[in-house]
Amino acid sequence: MKHRFLLLFVLLCLALSPLLVLQAQDDMEMATCSGEPLTEDSPVIVIGAAVSDTGRYAREGGDTRNGYNLWLDWVMNEYGGINIDGVCNAVELIMYDDEGDSDTVSVLVERLIIEDEVDFILGPYSSGLTSVASVITERENVIMVEGNGASETLFERGFQNLFAVLTPASFYTRGGIELAYEQGARTGAIAYVDEAFSTSVAEGAQRWMEELGMEVLAFESYPSDATDLSSLVTNFRELEPDIVVAAGHFNDAVLFVNTIKDLDFNPQGILLTVGPSNPTFVEEVGADSYYLLGASQWESTLGYEDAWFGSAGDYAARFEEAYGIPPSYQAAESTATALALHLAIEAAGSADTDDVRTALQEMDIVTFYGPINFDETGKNAGKPMVTIQIQDGEINIVAPVEAAVADVQWPAPAWADR
């Protein structure tokens, strides 16, 4: 850890009243740094991140940056720093634009570690960029906690310094496919971007369909820079599946929905990743987004609660106050990523890599985002996904039953009847 003179970038304080929350776990105390308070001579923990401010992941990258910054504002201006051995440590967060590019991520993460001498890394957006960044952090023996790289392949390399708070990609569509099966769907078609995350989602979707006895009529990939999906969608339309699953990112979801409508393809249900769960998706796609199903890591109506950010709803209100928009799950999981690292440092009582790694391996907590409990590979073993549906412009959880706030609308009406 670097004991620097305090040079901090402090965000504007949020105009929120003090956080009043219930004690979620027996050993939790009210969320403040209980050590020696911050001064300008306090030691500083330096954390780095490469995020996509520009490029194909700019929208999701912006959510990631906002999620990290929300934690930074809270930990500095409300919590009072990170408690290490009875001393509240200040936090400096250095972030660079990775442009959604693998080579740029590699250069930036190395710069953060070698030149900026950060103590820890927070992950970028997407499995592909996370994979590249984690090679650098593993080589340099720097811990990276991340919340936006879900591909299982990330955790099959035996890395010791990679920890992810989000549910793995293969589980994204399980709830939605099971819901469709309950509604009578017996055939499906799967499309996916030819990259790590979407491939993991698609392979999971295929597995869930086959386990239920559904017939997979098509399993097709398309390139990450695709701008025309007419051929793929035309093939799907001719096969007449009951449900279509499309695994990709925000821009892919917009393109897919526009193409399905243009070609008057009318499956009973459409299940997409990333897009429908983002509040800005409804604004961009409009009424064409109605009836779409989506996989979500987190929603503000979930019953999770903690002693740091309060309930899921409290977090959503805090985020909207800060940024003027509701949080996507990418924003929430990014805040949870930084919080998990913070709590591991405090549990370790040290910023030493080995000590913090052990604390992460032993972590078993519930946060506003959900449970965090890392398995031996670094995946979060304890957090389920939820399935949402856009209903009259609202994002509603429709599965699982215990979390649902609305009944699923099934089948989706034909485009001509909307």
- Average pLDDT score, the chain: 92
**How many domains are there within the chain?**
2
φ and ψ of 242, to 5 deg: -70, -40
Half-sphere exposure (Cβ direction) of 317: Cα atoms closer than 13 Å: 12
Place of tokens 């249900």: 269
264 and 398: one domain? Answer: yes
283 and 353: one domain? Answer: no
Residue 31: pLDDT over 90: no
* pLDDT > 70: percent of the chain: 93
Q: How confident is the model at residue 20 (pLDDT cuts 50, 70, 90)?
A: very low
Question: Does a structural domain hold residue 344?
Answer: yes
209 and 282: one domain? Answer: yes
Give how far Cα 354 sits from Cα of 143, 345, 349, 358, 361, Å.
9, 11, 12, 6, 11
252 and 353: one domain? Answer: no
Residue 28: pLDDT over 50: no
Q: Which of 168, 170, 177 is nearest to 399 (CA)?
A: 177
188 and 321: one domain? Answer: no
Q: How confident is the model at residue 2 (pLDDT cuts 50, 70, 90)?
A: very low
pLDDT digits (tens, 9 = 90+) for 214-250: 999 999 999 999 999 999 999 999 999 999 999 999 9
Question: Does a structural domain hold residue 10?
Answer: no
CB burial string 161-171: b at 16+ within 10 A, e below: bbbbbbbbbbb
226 and 196: one domain? Answer: yes
263 and 410: one domain? Answer: yes
213 and 315: one domain? Answer: no
Torsion sign, CA atoms 319, 324, 326, 332: negative
Question: How confident is the model at residue 170, as a pLDDT?
Answer: 95
364 and 405: one domain? Answer: no
Question: Does a structural domain hold residue 15?
Answer: no
pLDDT digits (tens, 9 = 90+) for 33-65: 999 999 999 999 999 999 999 999 999 999 999
Query: Residue 391 maps to which CATH number?
Result: 3.40.50.2300
Question: Does a structural domain hold residue 397?
Answer: yes
Length of the chain: 418
Question: Does a structural domain hold residue 28?
Answer: no
Range in 6-10, 167-171, 251-255, 288-292 the model is least confident about: 6-10
Partners of residue 55 on adjacent β-strands? none
Going by C-beta distance under 8 Å and a sequence separation of 6 or more, which residues neighbour residue 219?
A: 189, 190, 202, 206
Q: How confident is the model at residue 26 (pLDDT cuts 50, 70, 90)?
A: very low
pLDDT digits (tens, 9 = 90+) for 174-221: 999 999 999 999 999 999 999 999 999 999 999 999 999 999 999 999
Question: Does a structural domain hold residue 24?
Answer: no
96 and 216: one domain? Answer: no
360 and 395: one domain? Answer: no
Mean pLDDT value of segment 87-103: 98
Half-sphere exposure (Cβ direction) of 349: Cα atoms closer than 13 Å: 2
Q: Rounded distance, CA 86 to CA 80, Å? A: 12
Question: How confident is the model at residue 381, as a pLDDT?
Answer: 83
Q: What is the β-pairing status of strands 386-391 and 394-399? A: antiparallel
pLDDT digits (tens, 9 = 90+) for 371-412: 999 999 999 988 999 999 999 999 999 999 999 999 999 999
Question: Does a structural domain hold residue 18?
Answer: no
Question: How confident is the model at residue 349, as a pLDDT?
Answer: 97
Question: Does a structural domain hold residue 16?
Answer: no
200 and 269: one domain? Answer: yes
pLDDT digits (tens, 9 = 90+) for 109-152: 999 999 999 999 999 999 999 999 999 999 999 999 999 999 99
Structural domain span for residue 409:
170-296+385-417
SS3 content of the chain, % helix, strand, coil (to 5): 40, 20, 40
DSSP secondary structure letter of residue 171 = G
